[in-house]
Structure 1
């Protein structure tokens, strides 16, 4: 898709670089953070950099030492250190998951107990340069940055033993947390959903789920059009009102963590984190005994 607009008859029209234009009754942009559809509707970008560069990959649980397997366990958690360094480790065991009973999904990359981790640093010239690296080179540079900041070697094992080809870097983008600033366009027969409207940093763990909720809500409202109870424009208007509220809620949660990470990237924030982190870590150990 290269652009979206309206034909002479007022119907939504989608343009392609390698195919003929297509007219439709309704166009829904689910094309992510850099959505062409949302940019067309809003007259510009619908999000901006949140100030953090993220790095992610996957590490098989069996590739970790027995001690680290026991320490991490079947849990997920986030550690935030001084100067904006943070590491999230999420546990995933898809074995027995009902969705994998479908034969066509047996090719899932993650088929055994795996830690899906995400490292975070404030955006800067140094972290921006890491985005140009790939695979093992990026993995080594990331480990080096954590070591420079004094992270214990055992906490970095999940990064060191990750699949090098799964390591990737990306920028966190975020839309406004204000509901009134989301989907800032009149309702019509072109709309958008998910990150195209409420681009959400992964710090809430709800971005994909919110997009699915958007799609389900849109279908529900459009069902009333089929029943003859409302028009398409009215259904889209009601859908967008609910989407604004949902988007605002998850963005508020996600940005709370983003702001916390950025707050440690100051002299005072780093000092406070240095003092409180050992206390919080000890409390977490006691809680999980």
Structure 2
């Protein structure tokens, strides 16, 4: 069986390993021209669910590479007001030397690409698909086509495959924008950073309706060649709170974006201001937070979906990447079992919806509390 996966994100790459390891003919098509092009965020939390999924689908050498390039485990989630007065704190057991509880997105994706060179094709923007009697024809933006027995949409929140398969599917804008940035951790800066900021995820809030800033450490076991340890910093807020329309925000140069971050934290604690001033301004970029609502079943065919392509969610539950990895492991299990293709896909789609719907609901509920938004109820 030949499987075409559109999207070389985390879920698509994990699925490619699971299926190719079972002997299926897998091709992954990615619109980006290279692995270095995509900007989706910097630090990703990996839960036990994600770890179990990785263990289920990755060859031992790739699993070892993921462990080596992961970050040191943290043990704290904490909150502060803008003058760094603590508002909440929650600790959890730290992991052992083999634990993968947080990763740098770029290093993680590069590790997941290990051994997939012959199966990965960059610079292939997907355009549409057409059902055939015995498969699916994929059409790309350059006019070329490919055929497969099964098409898997792993092409993210703006999935073109979902748009064709489920044209009435609703994905909402929750009204929050994020400006991502990186603060390189020099020896001098390590002495300045509040200890909690280096132990896990910390959120500094300006109060309801204002802006907030998340900080999380990326302390590598083995850093990539391009950069070393850093502190992820993310300014969050509505367009009104940020003081810019979407047209303005998404047309800004990175340096202009970071000027907005600097301006919005100008009266915060001096330590926060010093951290913001030490950022690599060229690394800034904005994103819109979106979420699905109700994930309805569809008629099973030769096209299916995983990850953000079917259940995009806010980052407020820390579960988006882990749910995509769960999908990849579940779809691998279904397709490599004894059931026929139709029954395998039907079983996967049922399990995927049943697993992801409560997580989408939780992420929206958390977003209401964290960001003060009034997103619709699920």
Task: Indicate the TM-score class for this superposition, using the shorter chain for normalisation.
Answer: 0.7 to 0.9
The answer as to 2:130 corresponding to 1:11 is no
Query: Take 2:356 and 2:364, find their aligned partners in 1: how far apart are those partners?
Result: 12
Whether 1:159 and 2:276 are equivalent positions in the alignment is yes
1:154-193 deviation digits (Å, cap 9, x = unpaired):
22333221111111111001111xxxx3254212210011
Conserved 8 A contact 1:52-1:258: no
Does 1:211 find its partner at 2:328? Answer: no
Among residues 157, 164, 169, which one is paired with 1:40 in the alignment? 164
2:254 to 132, 135, 140: 135
Structure 2 vs 1, CA of residues 71 and 236 (structure 1 numbering), >3 Å: closer, same or farther?
A: closer
Greater fraction of residues in strand:
2
C-alpha spacing 1:17/1:127, structure 2 compared with 1 (3 Å): closer
Out of 214, 217, 227, the position equivalent to 1:91 is 217
Is 2:236 the partner of 1:120? yes
Who is 1:284 aligned against? none
Query: 2:297–2:350: 8 Å Cα contact kept in structure 1?
Result: no
Query: Contact 1:53–1:127 at 8 Å: present in 2 too?
Result: no
Corresponding residue of 1:248 = 357
How far is 1:212 from its partner? 1.5
Q: Rg bigger for which structure? A: 1
Q: Assess, with a 3 A threshold, how the Cα gap between structure 1 residues 123 and 260 changes in structure 2: closer, same or farther.
A: farther
RMSD of aligned Cα (Å): 2.3
TM-score if structure 1 supplies the norm length?
Answer: 0.76
Alpha-carbon distance in 1 for matches of 2:373, 2:300: 41
Which structure features the higher share of helix residues? Answer: 1
Please name the residue that 2:308 is paired with. Answer: 195
Tell me the matched-pair count.
Answer: 244
The 3 A distance-change label for structure 1 pair 143 and 26 is same
Structure 2: segments with no counterpart, 5+ residues = 1-125
Between 1:150-159 and 1:240-249, the stretch displaced more is 150-159
* Aligned equivalent of 1:25: 149
Query: What corresponds to 2:264 in structure 1?
Result: 145
Matched, 1:169 2:294: no
Counterparts of 2:304 and 2:314, CA distance in 1: 22
Matches within 5 A, 1:42-81: 42-62=166-186, 64=189, 66-70=191-195, 72-81=197-206
How far did residue 262 of structure 1 move? 4.2
Deviations 1:115-172 (A, max 9, x none): 112211024472523232122211012221233xx43232233322111111111100
Matching residue of 1:280: none
Length-normalised TM-score, structure 2: 0.59
Q: Is 1:239 aligned to 2:357, yes or no?
A: no
- DSSP 3-state at the match of 1:18: coil
Q: 1-side partners of 2:373 and 2:325: how far apart?
A: 33
After the TM superposition, list the runs of 4 or more consecutive aligned residues in structure 1 that deviate by more than 6 angstroms: none
